[in-house]
Amino acid sequence: AKRNIILVIMKVKFSYQFLIFLIYIIYLNGGVKGIYWPCTDDTVCNSEVNDTYCSSLGNCECAAGYTFNAAVTKCLREALYGESCEEGAQCSHMLTGASCRNNVCTCQGDEIEMRTYTKGRCRKLLPLHTECGEDLDCDFGYDRESVACRDGTCQCADGFYHRGENICRRISMNVGDECIVNSDCQGGNHRCVARKCEEISERKEAEVQTDFIDSPTSPSDSKSYETETTSNSYRRLRDETKDEGVQFGDPCVNNGESCQGLAYSLCIKDRCHCKLGYYPRNGICTAELGEEASSAEHCATIIRDNKCVCALDSFYQMNMRTCIRNVLSLDASCAQQSQCSPFLSMCPSGVTVPRCSCHPYKIHDQASQLCVLRQGLGEFCETKEQCSVQNTACQSDNTCTCDNSYMEVNEQCKPAIGGSCDSTDDCVVDNTECVSESGDKEDEAPPVEQKVCRCKVGFTFHTTNECLPIANKYGDECKESEQCQPLLGPLGKCEDEECVCGEENHYKDEKCNEKKVLGEKCTKSGECFVTDNSTQVECRNDICQCEYGYYSDATKIKCIKSSKKNSSGRPNPLKVITMLLITAAILVTSAAIKEAYY
């Protein structure tokens, strides 16, 4: 037994070591792209799948910028963030969190897990004031220059100030500097007017940008220097180009080192690739926003302090390759969330013309040009316990509102119909009273029993949280059908402000009933309908029939009195019995007379 246990342990240990070895081999060969397919030359690879080559490791690989599909039948182009895709393999170069959703490469859980694409990867970034290891760890809020990891904590970078939440804004000190909101201008008595800091005199005070100004975002406002996404942007076709030096996708020999003559490159599996944070464009490696760029050809936007960045009046887009211009104020039309960030507002989705607006749990403060958190009712919440006002609930839009059975009164939630109460004075709906759950009035209820607000006797509950008077007779005045139904039953309705039964029903036995003509099945006599003398019809043997002594007319809506026969056309049983008794009496009398004389 001991020997068997030792053998099992050895097998488990071997399996674990083999698994580690297998993972290492897959890692070295690039995952899906590096599926082991032995070869001796490019011909072997291209005979099965186009655009492949035989690497120095002796296995087939897709060309640089391409990856095998799941079936290993073709090479698919590696898609950049925000580009179209067919399979998840095209996005796998962005590693953890990358996926092909709705045929677009993106980072999984962009909103929930706060995964953000930056420096070639999907990363879970850290908010301000949390521990970090490097600048790249910090959530930059649409501008990578705005944050830094200092003293092990994510903070606003030098030259930026904390605007609120996770937004750091650039400080503008001089007249003429770029700005969006007044607080950007911190060089004295300056205010932001039409995206520029100006010194404000009393004469100009009225011109300060504080009111809502519509600033449409048109295609010309969006500085989107889009990259080429066709397959030609990844391959170098030697027979169609001039000798322009080393380009993306060219062969190389020193794996792990940069390709000589191609800036920001790396030799991987015998081919020239772009380093993390760079992407292929026109055969060279172009910097993503926030990365180093030595010349304009390596940056699709502008270069500032040797980095590829956006202009001061623009924000980074989520793909980290393009920029979008800011808007002048809250309530301006928008295309991206970034444009609304200086106001701590949102750009709503699903609307025809989206405009920067406050979240439901915020309110606009004109002095600070910010959407600030509401206090009390309407405040932000994720759980009910976070709501400071009693009798509230946390709704799906993250706002605290009055719970069911409560109404807002003077910024408080007071008991409506069904709400808990101590006395009738607590109940805010007209014609209600505080009663125990069992229905007794407040004065009769035991002290420990829960009491709630209910409609008073003679009133009924309506869904709009009001108590309406119950009708006393057919035709009484009404607003809602609920007022008629206690008197007329569930089929009673309010039509033209009167309690009636409606044309499809009829009034009988003080209730509204379905119309059942003669011969139809029924459950009670009230359902049986005739146009005249409703007392002449009844539900007999579960069928609507005329009473004895009456029969149905051809239309089956009238009962007609019969002089000879009952409504069924058969001899009247009472008459038959009477005739039999008379006949029997005559026979008995005749027999007695005969016996007396003879």
The structure tokens listed for 169 are 């804004």
Backbone angles phi and psi of 441, in degrees to 5: -75, 165
- Looking only at Cα atoms, what is the longest distance across the chain? 156
**pLDDT value for 207:** 46
**pLDDT value for 574:** 62
Which CA distances in Å does 212 have to 216, 352, 356, 543? 12, 19, 10, 73
**pLDDT value for 377:** 92
How would residue 203 be classed by pLDDT, with cut points 50, 70 and 90?
very low
**pLDDT value for 216:** 41
**Region for 538 from its dihedrals, namely left if φ exceeds 0, alpha if ψ lies in -120 to 50, beta otherwise:** beta
> Each residue of 214-228: pLDDT tens digit?
334 443 344 444 434
> Each residue of 579-597: pLDDT tens digit?
777 777 788 777 777 766 6
The structure tokens listed for 41 are 């030359």
**pLDDT value for 35:** 62
Give the range among 47-56, 237-246, 502-511 with minimum mean pLDDT.
Answer: 237-246
Average pLDDT value for residue range 150-167: 95
Give the integer Cα–Cα distance in Å for 162 and 343: 12
Which CA distances in Å does 565 have to 29, 466, 561, 576? 103, 57, 9, 11
**pLDDT value for 571:** 59
Q: Which residue spans within 319-411 are E strands per DSSP?
A: 323-325, 362-365, 370-373, 392-394, 400-402, 406-409
> Each residue of 73-121: pLDDT tens digit?
999 999 999 999 999 999 988 888 888 999 999 987 645 566 899 999 9
* pLDDT higher than threshold 80 for residue 5: no
Which strand (E) or helix (H) includes residue 266? Answer: strand 265-268
How would residue 447 be classed by pLDDT, with cut points 50, 70 and 90?
low
> What residue type is assigned to position 356 of the chain?
C
Give the integer Cα–Cα distance in Å for 268 and 31: 13
What count of other Cβ atoms lies within 10 Å of the Cβ of residue 430? 11
Average pLDDT value for residue range 338-347: 94
How would residue 230 be classed by pLDDT, with cut points 50, 70 and 90?
very low
How would residue 244 be classed by pLDDT, with cut points 50, 70 and 90?
low
**pLDDT value for 456:** 94
Report the mean per-residue pLDDT for the chain: 83
**pLDDT value for 582:** 79
pLDDT-above-70 percentage for the chain: 81
Backbone angles phi and psi of 66, in degrees to 5: -130, 160
* pLDDT higher than threshold 80 for residue 433: yes
Cβ proximity of 369 and 181 under 8 Å: yes
User: Which residues neighbour 562 within 8 Å (Cβ) at sequence distance 6 or greater?
Assistant: 549, 550, 551
**pLDDT value for 228:** 40
**pLDDT value for 34:** 47
Average pLDDT value for residue range 391-408: 92
> Each residue of 164-187: pLDDT tens digit?
999 999 999 999 999 999 999 998
pLDDT-above-90 percentage for the chain: 59
Average pLDDT value for residue range 436-448: 59
How would residue 24 be classed by pLDDT, with cut points 50, 70 and 90?
very low
> Each residue of 481-511: pLDDT tens digit?
999 999 999 999 999 999 999 888 999 889 9
Q: Is the dihedral of CA 435, 439, 444, 446 positive or negative?
A: negative
* pLDDT higher than threshold 90 for residue 573: no
How would residue 371 be classed by pLDDT, with cut points 50, 70 and 90?
very high
* pLDDT higher than threshold 90 for residue 564: no
Average pLDDT value for residue range 456-475: 91
How would residue 402 be classed by pLDDT, with cut points 50, 70 and 90?
very high
The most confident of the ranges 105-109, 269-273, 548-552 is 269-273
